[in-house]
Structure 1
Amino acid sequence: MTIAVEIDTGTLGFPRMGPNRELKFALEKYWRGAITQEQLNKIAVDVETQNWHTQVERGIQRIGVGMFSLYDHVLDWTLYLGCEPQRFTKLTSDVDRYFAMARGLDGIPALDMTKWFDSNYHYEVPELNVHTTPKANFKNFIDTIKRAQSTLGKNKAVPVILGPLTYLALAKYDDNTSIASMLPKLLPLYTLLINQLAALGVPEVQVHEPSLVGAHASKLLPHLVSVYGDNTTAGALTHPNVNLHIATYFEAIDDDVYKWFATSKIAALSLDFTRGDNLSVLQKFGFPSGKRLGVGIVDGRGVWKIAPSTITPILSSILEVISRNPNAALTIQPSSSLQHVPYTTKAEVDFQANLSSLYGVLSFAYEKLDEVKLISNIIKDGQLTNSTTAFQAANAAWATYYKENPAKQAVQTRVKSVTEADLKRPSDFATRRPHQMKSCPILPTTTIGSFPQTAQIRGLRRQLKLGKITQQAYEAQIDAQIAYNIGVQDALGLDILVHGEPERTDMVEFFAEKLNGFAFSQNGWVQSYGSRCVRPPVIYADLERPLDMTVREFKVAQGFSAYKPVKGMLTGPVTILNWSFPRLDITRKEQAYQLALCLRDEVAALEKAGCTIIQVDEPALREGMPLKLSKKDAYLRWAVDAFRLSTAVAANATSIHTHMCYCEFNDCMPSIDEIDADVNSIENARSGDETIRAFKSIGYKKDLGPGVYDIHSPVVPPKDEIIAKLESFLKLLPAKQLVVNPDCGLKTRRWPETIAALKNMVEAAHQVRSSLK
């Protein structure tokens, strides 16, 4: 049966770094002064243009343009709206202000950075206060749209703008400012922009408002009419010649927001049908006449190929609702921007050669475009069934995958056998703390774990991978680097040492490589922030730890330090899960427990090797929290339990540390306390003392390591600045409760600035420590 509904294809965004990370390398050259701004811009334009052509070639008819960015799209809108904090206004160049907000300059701290909803992408947080005076600065954006129209045509190029409600919901404010007070200042600028786009002949604008599905939705609801209007009233963004398309993703839209849309003059609404239950919303309220539904049915955040048995019932139900109203239309599209997945599986030679069953069910950005087009054609042809010819290849690939990767009975049994007793340390914190870190002074100094990853270290790993050196030769050179790292720390006077992680490409990938059940890409790079890219591993089977993962390097490092403890360094189960591409056939909770049991065995092995301080990092624990408050408690329960399952095996004398960064913690503070880590080292350098105050507000009694300087900035913090930080900490917490450290690992920094910054940190700690006597 042919479907009598208009159907086309679209996208909400695309990867930015380039298939070979061209933009990453160009940015880093520009920051080093190796290329000019003009050369950087040319490379960016080339990557963006290639992205557009790729989408056209794969049959996409509505191509979202305007989300491409040199660093971060939220930061772009801070620049477009002229909302830079006053400390940056003395920089007269747009590009200088832009990168200063992202990375900081001497005496000018960068903007705070946190996670984009529940993803591992980081955005630069807008700072808004009574002095913020927005000013239109849309030239670069308009130039991009003109270029897209010239390349794609006016009907294919759909401008993407970050909606005013989401921009304001993502910002942080002083005490006298709020969304309600800032919105009237921003709306005239958005009106101006819509008018400028209308003058270019733009028929449709995608307005991304993902905050309409999250915890902020109820607070934003009262502002929808002033921004977008309703059935009788024009909003600030309303224009007679421009159709507004509101895009939401990552969760289900709230009923009240959907009901407003249904009666408004908004032309189109995108919904995510891969996360949250948007289908129920659609079935409950129907779909209004004369509007278009963006059907986010291809997962924009996962790497798995569509499973026909899963998507056909959803699509059939959507078509049933839409068919009641013949004037409605559909756009088949990814569920969100494809910036969260790699470019293409075609570059993954090892997958094809060694894991053929897995390769058959993987889908990256290019392949997801093909899936969008395939689904659109199937619906148009009236052939939407699980067994349709076009879906047979996907069905066969999934059948092979499941056949070749069966459940591992030993793993399944161990997970099912976990009890409450497995989640508890031998004694409470007050009892065990006097037995820990006995050799350390008050205000002990340490680092988060990693030291600079030099070209020599990266080259060494490449040589090993290519078989040009033996494992023995590789380990000898790694050990020499560990010796250097320990020597630097000893010379600087740090109290708790780390081996520096020279053997680790990435804090998740390293552990994934040691476990059975993970697969790895060669070119599966995904942007984390700025030029920073990661290659998330893929969980494809039950997880097992066949051998020790970190014990050898710990022994080497501790052997170079007779008097100071060396931390064992692990990545926590929730972070490994959230920074990997998880399986779809079992729950995330079960995958977290499998990881936790592997890490539990590693904690025990480190203890047996003499390690008395073990850091289990969980920077992504808050990141993975659901956007709907109704789902929050269930997630936090199993996430906390997974961490405790990893660490509860430790004896009282073993100090368990963790590290958390670049998230808003206020809405989960009791759970962070409940993980029962002895020391929590937190990002704090970009957020004043807000995070410490949050810990203090819940009566936090364990030890805390607030970051004293921002490692994402190349600026070396002056000693006096660190002293001021420490003194501000001491106004909130007693010295016996504080550990002194940077706010994150030092992997991305260079040695000269690393040594200079740590020297200032240690000297500052010594000075403050002496003042306490």
Structure 2
Amino acid sequence: MSVPTSVVGFPRIGSDRELKKSIEGYWRGKHGIDDVKATAKGLRERHWNIQRKAGIGLIPSNDFSYYDQLLDTSILLGAIPQRYKRLALSPEDTLFAMGRGYQGEKGDVTALPMKKWFTTNYHYLVPEIDDSVSITLAGDKPFREFEEAKALGIVTKPVLIGPYTFLKLARRPEGAPLAIDRGLIDQVASAYASVLQRFASLGADWVQFDEPYLVLDKERGDIELFKSLYAKILPSRRAQEGSVRLLLQTYFGHVGDSYETLALLGFDGIGLDFVEGKDENLAALAKFGVPEQTTIFAGVVNGRNIWRNDYAVSLGILDAVRKVTSRVAVSTASSLLHVPFSVANEDGLDEQVRRHFAFAVEKLDELKEIADLADAGDEERRASESLKRNQSLFDGRRVTADESVVSRIAALTEDELNRQPARSERQRLQREELHLPVLPTTTIGSFPQTKEVRAERAKLRHGEISQEEYDAFIRSQIDAVLAKQEAIGLDVLVHGEFERNDMVEYFGQNLNGFLFTKNAWVQSYGTRCVKPPIVWSDVSRAKPITVAWSAYAQSRTERVVKGMLTGPVTILNWSWPREDITHEQQTTQLALAIRDEVLDLEAAGIKVIQIDEAALREKLPLRKSDWHAQYLDWAIPAFRLVHSGVKPGTQIHTHMCYSEFNDIIRDIDAMDADVISFEASRSDLTVLDAIQDAHFETEAGPGVYDIHSPRIPSQQEIEERIGNILDKMDASSVWINPDCGLKTRGNAETWPSLEHMVAAAKAVRARLGH
């Protein structure tokens, strides 16, 4: 019997971002919702058939979403807050209102909070449950999509976010964790039991419940909560005639501290991540064994990076698992949502480069080949052409070290990681030099990338205009945005970043060691997609990157203009990192490159320099015991290395977005920036309590409005938010700014929102007597 294959989830945006384009066209009124539905149906059919053609045995359904899979789960379970129901919109528009807010003739509501999905750059919408919500099976999306695939002759494996993860990620309206009582447990368990009953009646063989929250440290009562939920779900399933088999899928780490419970509950399948949780998961299997009826779905194909799988490593893992049980399936370690669609779309890369990469479609072939090799004997493996071809990729000849980079890192001293004098003294000097008012206003950096801006960049790329013509256009855009910022009264200006396609790719294009793709898009949130660059070899700065444009902008105004950089941790976290050297080594290389840029900006007369570390929290290990040794002990010093060489009067800013900051607030303070801005509006400013408790020394700008929504906040709304901030922070330490950069917004909502923000800051200043 051949080894079964399973895919945890598949990308949904399409090979050419068809879903994004269709939904955004609907938002702009170019076509109706029926066109979006037709596009979505076509993509689902295409993706199922791709997986069937690749020979995948267990193909997922319900991994498709218009916006976010956890948002779909909330709607499926009837967890729709009343403010969205009162709008009386269509089901699709209700979903979009929950995802991005709504401002129109039927009302004005903000979006649900948005957070990072564990350690990925994908964002989920936080489920909101208040006392009026009753959890029940209220929707039919998973069942419709299962029947849709079945009509094509494909019996899929439906996928849902599991009940434990759903409850652990859900929050009350004010952002507080749920008080999970027996009544709520019974409601949720009953709803999920109904899901299984419905799939049994439809003829499903397997159903997958994703429980990634199991890989986190356990709080008191977590294991009992998990057992309470599944103690009700599993018996109800077994009582059914022709019941479905239930796969409990975990990913992004190990379940060493809960595997015994999983084994005792008797799931038909347990999915384990052997990429990020290999050692602990193997140890748990060896210690507790595998129940006779349980299949281990061994996640050996990385769903979060683009390098080719090392078959010898994967086969070694499978052999170790099969020493414990013969019931093994080969699986992706997580959903393939987190990788691009297909390497076939990258004809601009040389074949000798391209052969090292596997995107979602190619990972299907890897799954099948690994399963076939796992089924083969030793002689057959040794003779296998697929194994020989694969092993030729790992002969150590791909990269030659850059000795100048190696020697520069070796020469680093402890003094280069610490800025002098102390921050309090620097802040005093900066106030004297910059002459800013209390509650200074600024933005995070980027301004709208209009069609005109993108069109001019495309013309340059295609050779339709000269570099001189393009530069003149960018200067005109900078002049216009500076004048507009001055007119509305912003205190610290930015040049708008019109020359940049992406905050990471732009820097990668000016650094040695990076490669770039044309179509390797990955969903970040909603319809927002990113195209990460690839770290191919050792990194160094090829030439100054931002200095000319920042110096030009500063020369056009008497007000302070921030220099805008992306920090080393974020560049790595939002790139496809190498797997042949450590993340620490790659980040240190990047830190030295950005340090050179910081010093050049200062020499060019830039007095305020923002070094964005938007993704610092993103790759924080999920287990607290690993936070420092495996991440913070090198990530924080890398940021300090970037700015430690500047003069005391040069003000260093940083920015972070859409993460849980509270538990690392002291580590953020230890970055030793002078000012930090961060997302706070969608999380209702809950980070302020942590700032207050930690006696935070860094000046801070908690975002006063959400830029990921098209709605325009009123002056009164922002004044109230500033008031909430001042309840927890001293006015002398507060900056006023939006949540994030304005690149993805339009001018029609950007400028009114900023006008309201500036007016609100001035009104609060007046009340404070400044």
- The equivalent residue for 2:504 is 508
Counterpart Cα distance in 1 of 2:405 and 2:168: 42
Q: How does 1:305-704 map to 2 (within 5 A)?
A: 305-322=308-325, 328-352=326-350, 356-383=351-378, 388-399=384-395, 402-437=396-431, 438-561=434-557, 563-634=558-629, 635-704=631-700
Alpha carbons 1:361, 1:397 under 8 Å: kept: yes
Deviation at residue 180 of structure 1 after TM alignment: 3.8
- Measured against aligned partners, the alpha-carbon deviations of 1:203-241 in whole angstroms (never above 9, x if no partner) come to 2111111111113476431123322239xx954665541
Deviation string for 1:78-107 (max 9, x for gaps)? 111111122212133322221111011233
Residue in 1 aligned with 2:94? Answer: 97
> What secondary structure does 2:514 align onto?
strand
SS at match of 2:619: coil
Report the Cα distance in structure 2 between the residues aligned to 1:176 and 1:419, rounded to whole angstroms.
44
Q: CA deviation at 1:153?
A: 3.1
* Cα offsets for 1:141-168 (capped at 9, x unmatched): 21111112222433xx111111000011
Give 1:581 deviation, angstroms: 0.9
Deviations 1:582-602 (A, max 9, x none): 111111111111111111111
Contact 1:361 1:398 in 2 (8 A): no
Mapped to 2, the partners of 1:294 and 1:218 lie a distance apart of: 28
- C-alpha distance in structure 1 between counterparts of 2:661 and 2:612, whole Å: 15
Instruction: Report the more deviating stretch, 708-717 or 724-733.
Output: 724-733
1:131 matched to 2:125? The reply is no
Residues 170, 178 of structure 2: 8 Å contact kept? no
Query: How many angstroms apart in 2 are the aligned matches of 1:382 and 1:116?
Result: 40
Percent identity between the aligned chains?
A: 40
- Preserved contact between residue 194 and residue 239 of structure 1 (Cα < 8 Å): no
Measure, in 1, the Cα distance between the counterparts of 2:218 and 2:85.
30
Report the equivalent of 1:113. 114
* Mapping 1:291-302, distance limit 5 Å: 291-302=294-305
Q: 1:708 aligns with which of 704, 707, 712?
A: 704
Deviations 1:308-348 (A, max 9, x none): 343232222223232xxxxx422212111100000111111
Match of 2:749 in 1: 753
Does structure 1 conserve the Cα–Cα contact (< 8 Å) formed by 2:569 and 2:613?
A: yes
Residue 321 of structure 1: SS of its match in structure 2? coil
Deviation for aligned residue 1:674 = 0.5
Structure 1: gaps spanning 5 or more residues: 323-327
Give the count of matched residue pairs.
753
SS at structure 1 position matched to 2:406:
helix
Q: TM-score, normalised by structure 2?
A: 0.95
1:68 corresponds to which residue?
64
Contact 1:228/1:237, CA 8 A, preserved across alignment: no
Secondary structure in structure 2 of the residue aligned to 1:403: coil
Match of 2:4, SS state, is strand
Q: Is the CA contact 1:518–1:538 (under 8 Å) kept in the aligned structure 2?
A: yes
Q: 1:8 aligns with which of 4, 10, 30?
A: 4
Between 1:308-317 and 1:157-166, the stretch displaced more is 308-317
Of 208, 211, 214, 1:209 maps to: 211
Secondary structure of 1:127's counterpart equals coil
Return the alpha-carbon distance in structure 2 between the equivalents of residues 735 and 535 of structure 1.
Answer: 39
| Change in 2 beyond 3 A, CA 1:718/1:64 | same
> Structure 1 residues 196 and 312 mapped into 2: Cα distance closer, same or farther (>3 Å)?
closer
**2:260 aligned residue:** 259
- With over 3 angstroms needed to count, the CA separation of the structure-2 counterparts of 1:153 and 1:243, relative to structure 1, is same
Shift of 1:765: 0.9
In the superposition, relative to structure 1, how do residues 729 and 224 fare at CA in structure 2: closer, same or farther (>3 Å)?
closer
Q: Judging changes above 3 Å, is the alpha-carbon distance between structure 1 residues 604 and 176 closer, same or farther for their aligned structure 2 residues?
A: closer
AA aligned opposite 1:296: G
Q: Do the aligned partners of residues 501 and 244 (structure 1) sit closer, same or farther apart at CA in structure 2, a change above 3 Å counting?
A: same
Of 184, 187, 204 in structure 2, the residue corresponding to residue 185 of structure 1 is 187
**Is the Cα–Cα contact under 8 Å of residues 312 and 385 in structure 1 kept in the other structure?**
no
Per the TM alignment, residue 724 of structure 1 is displaced from its structure 2 partner at its CA by: 0.8
Distance across 2 between alignment mates of 1:413 and 1:293: 46
Give the C-alpha shift of residue 265 in structure 1: 2.4
| Cα distance in 1, alignment partners of residues 101 and 690 from structure 2 | 25
Q: Provide the rounded CA distance (Å) in 1 between the counterparts of 2:651 and 2:604.
A: 15
- Comparing 442-451 and 102-111, the one that deviates more: 102-111
Letter of the 1:761 partner, please give it.
M
1:282-327: per-residue Cα shift (whole Å, max 9, x none)? Answer: 23333332221111111111100012343232222223232xxxxx
Question: Mean Cα displacement is larger for which, 271-280 or 595-604?
Answer: 271-280
* Cα distance in 2 for residues equivalent to 1:14 and 1:246: 18
**Cα distance between partner residues in 2 of 1:263 and 1:386:** 38
Any idea what the Cα deviations from partners look like across 1:109-145, whole Å, max 9, x if unmatched? 1100010000000000112232322242222221111
What is aligned with 2:167? 168
Q: 1:239 to 1:679 in 2, by over 3 A?
A: farther
Aligned residues of 2:116 and 2:658 also touching (Cα < 8 A): yes
Q: What is the distance in 1 between the residues matched to 2:411 and 2:301? A: 36
- Inter-partner Cα distance in structure 1 for 2:660 and 2:260: 30
Structure 1, residues 453-482: CA drift from partner, whole Å, max 9, x if none?
011111111112222222222111111111
**Distance change (3 Å), C-alpha of 1:177 and 1:317:** closer
In 2, Cα distance between the equivalents of 1:85 and 1:721? 21
Q: Is the 8 A contact 2:10 2:335 kept in 1?
A: yes
**Which one is further off, 415-424 or 198-207?**
415-424
Please say if residues 446 and 741 of structure 2, whose CA atoms lie closer than 8 Å, have aligned partners that are also in contact. Answer: yes
SS for the counterpart of 1:261 is: helix
Which position in structure 2 is the counterpart of 1:325? none
Report if aligned partners of 2:314, 2:370 keep a CA contact under 8 Å in 1. Answer: no
In 1, Cα distance between equivalents of 2:99 and 2:704? 18
Distance 1:217 1:700 in 2: 26
Q: Which amino acid aligns with 1:163?
A: G
Q: Residues 88 and 398 (structure 1 numbering): CA distance in 2 closer, same or farther, change over 3 Å?
A: same
Task: Report the secondary structure of 2:297's partner residue.
Answer: strand
Q: Is the 8 A contact 1:570 1:615 kept in 2?
A: yes
Report the Cα distance in structure 1 between the residues aligned to 2:399 and 2:463, rounded to whole angstroms. Answer: 29
Worse-superposed segment, 57-66 or 467-476: 467-476
SS class of match (1:554): helix
Q: Would you say the 8 A contact 1:104–1:715 is kept in 2? A: yes
CA contact (8 A) 1:451 1:502 kept: yes
**Structure 2 CA distance for partners of 1:13 and 1:218, relative to 1, 3 Å:** farther
Q: Deviations over 1:346-388 (max 9, x none)?
A: 1112212xxx432121000110000000011112222475774
Letter in 2 for 1:425: R
1:248 aligned residue (238, 247, 250): 250
- Which amino acid in the other structure matches residue 717 of structure 2? E
Match of 2:291 in 1: 288
Task: Report SS of the residue matched to 2:377.
Answer: coil
Report the more deviating stretch, 75-84 or 328-337: 328-337
Segments of structure 2 that go 5 or more residues without pairing to the other structure are none
